[in-house]
Structure 1
Amino acid sequence: MRRVLVTRAREDAERTAEELRRRGFAPLIAPVLEIAATGAPIPTETFDAVLATSARAIQFVEGLAALRAPFFVVGGKTAQALSARGAQVEASAPDVAALTLLLGARFAAPARFLYLAGHDRKDDLESFLRARGHAATVVETYEARAVAALGEEARAALAAGEVEAALHYSARSASIFLALADAAGGPATLRARVTHFALSEDVARVLRAAGCANVRVAAAPDQASLLAALEAQ
């Protein structure tokens, strides 16, 4: 049974591990990030809409239903989480690019947005809002902190050459994983023999730049495509 390293934050990694077992793989959870609430307060002023690009961004927010503005979000999971907490979800888009198209069509005139986000994020949505003359209040509701070291089981498996594949979901987490593996005295096989599966080309570039010889990129930036690439290997 192929042993697959999962580097996601623990809560997400547990769900991925279940899916890997269902597909006949042996998952090894090795989180390189810890998710923590920032405790940032939510403004009480009036907004035309609230934006969220991940379910994680609303996980630590209290009083979501009290925000009277409609929510425009990315992902069905984010929409479901909001609806379950009594928030008004106006629309859900599959990705940020689709969300910007939706907002462009819905808000022709400058508007005021509240954007619930993580500390580490791409600037695509904020750049779009600025370019269109919108006012955006960004509240960073959570941050993903790098762990101090890889878990003992992961270190032992890497040292013994038992890991055949590793799943990487972001450029940052891939970079952190490689640094932690090096700090733990990771063997050369980590880069030469382990097959690294990247969620996107951005993630793959980090792996290749670090000398990983076997890098595969998911056909689309979602877990289903990432696991499909793993199964096809």
Structure 2
Amino acid sequence: MRVLITRAVPDAEQFAALCRDQGLTPIISPVMEIDIQSRAVDLSDIDALAFTSANGVRAFVHNSDRRDLLVFAVGPVTGKVAREAGFQHVREAGGDVHRLRDHIVSERTSFSQTLLHVAGMDRAGDLVQLLKHENISARRETLYAANAVSTLSDDVIAQLRADPPVEWATFFSPRTAALFLELAAKAGVSEELKKMRAACLSDAVAARAGSANWHALHVAPDYSATSLLQMILHSNAGSA
């Protein structure tokens, strides 16, 4: 069974490895390329960090050797990357910016100065503004850009047009879903999506992916790559 992976490298490669471990055939087709900026980060008034993506963790690690700060991660995927990077105090929220806000508010006494949101240029929600509405001091540092690719590769287009079709496409963010649909339309393969199932990390992702006419649209039961993969495996077993 073939699984199209649209997330950026290195996350795409890590999910591909999980797919191979389960006997699936991954097709890596990132719709974005991550460009991490290099610059000094002012942490003089900071005693907590917030990451809304694993790429935010990587961008911070690229620019600072501080690992003693309290970390609020948007979900388990980002939290895992933060712990692997050496952070010792990692709190995980429920998978989106509003749940992250709620989690930070619930633990507002665990830090006393300012929280720094390490973000990309394109963001799903304004965490800093949400926190300011709760009278929590916060500011943002934009340390990376997720740049959209211009086309799907010839190999991916050929696989999407193949018979039998690619069984699954996976989406881990609303933006990757939207970008993939744009690229599919540009490549003239939108009709092929009717033969495929879409696996989405959340309802917000599914809302973007749902503008296409998929054979079926599935949402993972929780915000993790493992959960999404298990959903694919169970859905396939149930349809066999």
Q: TM-score, normalised by structure 1?
A: 0.84
Point out the more displaced range, 126-135 or 6-15: 126-135
Q: How does 1:125-144 map to 2 (within 5 A)?
A: 125-144=127-146
Report the counterpart of residue 7 of structure 2 in structure 1. 8
Report the counterpart of residue 238 of structure 2 in structure 1. none
Letter in 2 for 1:25: L
Unpaired runs of 5+ residues, structure 2, are: 236-240
Secondary structure in structure 2 of the residue aligned to 1:225: helix
Q: 2:148 aligns with which of 146, 149, 164?
A: 146
1:41-72 residue CA offsets vs partner (Å, 9 max, x unmatched): 4125322433334332132335533587x222
Unpaired runs of 5+ residues, structure 1, are: none
**2:64 aligned with 1:64:** yes
**2:37 aligned with 1:35:** no
Structure 1 residues 54 and 221 mapped into 2: Cα distance closer, same or farther (>3 Å)? same
Aligned partners of 2:39, 2:4: CA distance in 1, in Å? 33
Structure 1 residues 53 and 207 mapped into 2: Cα distance closer, same or farther (>3 Å)? closer
Q: TM-score, normalised by structure 2?
A: 0.82
Q: How many residues align?
A: 226
Aligned partners of 2:151, 2:167: CA distance in 1, in Å? 20
Structure 1 residues 79 and 6 mapped into 2: Cα distance closer, same or farther (>3 Å)? closer
Structure 1 residue ranges, 4+ long, deviating more than 6 angstroms after superposition:
none
Letter in 2 for 1:65: D
1:126 to partner: Cα distance: 2.3
Structure 1 residues 178 and 59 mapped into 2: Cα distance closer, same or farther (>3 Å)? same
Report the counterpart of residue 204 of structure 2 in structure 1. 202
Letter in 2 for 1:148: S
Q: 1:181 aligns with which of 180, 184, 202?
A: 184
Aligned partners of 2:211, 2:167: CA distance in 1, in Å? 20
Structure 1 residues 29 and 124 mapped into 2: Cα distance closer, same or farther (>3 Å)? same
Structure whose alpha-carbon radius of gyration is higher: 1
Aligned partners of 1:110, 1:128: CA distance in 2, in Å? 18
1:168 to partner: Cα distance: 1.0
1:77 to partner: Cα distance: 1.9
Letter in 1 for 2:171: H
Letter in 1 for 2:2: R
1:219 to partner: Cα distance: 1.0
Aligned partners of 1:57, 1:134: CA distance in 2, in Å? 21
- What is the CA RMSD across the aligned residues, in angstroms? 2.6
Aligned partners of 2:133, 2:24: CA distance in 1, in Å? 46
Quote the sequence identity (%): 30
